[in-house]
């Protein structure tokens, strides 16, 4: 079952969560998750994300991006000062840090 209020963090996150009820273009959701439709790996910014954290292909972005809805995770990540800090927090929230480190090691071995 999904959390009933989209912008309310689950209890274990409440002390750090700020009220963010709209997208502030922080870039985290374009960077942290893997996006198969874009062949984007975990933890790496989308190639279409500009340095200002705006989408360079906004009107032609894929459905997965169009359908993404801001939620309480934005309150956890968007206030952080750098994109890399936002990515780290996003991965931490979803328990993806180990998977990201394994991906990094695999890509280091391949290079």
Number of other CB atoms surrounding residue 83 within 10 Å? 19
Which residues from 42-61 bind ligand SF4, rule CB under 6 A? 46, 48-49, 55, 57, 61
Q: Between 89 and 109, name the residue whose CB sits nearer to ligand SF4.
A: 89
Query: Which phi and psi angles does 55 have, rounded to 5°?
Result: -85, 125
Give the residue carrying structure tokens 């985290």.
Answer: 28
Q: Between 23 and 105, name the residue whose CB sits nearer to ligand SF4.
A: 23
Does residue 24 belong to the site contacting ligand SF4 (CB under 6 A)? yes
Shortest CA distance to 32 belongs to which of 72, 102, 89, 111?
89
How many angstroms separate the CA atoms of 97 and 110, rounded? 20
Which residues from 75-104 bind ligand SF4, rule CB under 6 A? 77-78
Would you tell me which residues interact with ligand SF4 (CB under 6 A)?
A: 23-30, 35, 38, 46, 48-49, 55, 57, 61, 65, 70, 74, 77-78
């Amino acid at each position: 079952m999904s959390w009933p209020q989209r912008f309310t963090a689950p209890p274990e996150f409440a002390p750090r969560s700020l009220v963010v009820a709209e997208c502030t273009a922080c870039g985290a959701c374009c960077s942290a998750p893997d996006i198969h439709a874009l062949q984007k790996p975990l933890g790496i910014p989308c190639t279409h994300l500009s340095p200002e954290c705006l989408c360079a292909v906004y009107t032609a972005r894929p459905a997965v991006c169009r359908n993404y809805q801001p939620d309480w995770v934005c309150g956890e990540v968007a206030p952080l000062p750098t994109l890399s800090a936002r990515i780290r927090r996003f991965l931490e929230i979803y328990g993806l840090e180990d998977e990201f480190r394994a991906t990094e090691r695999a890509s280091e071995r391949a290079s």
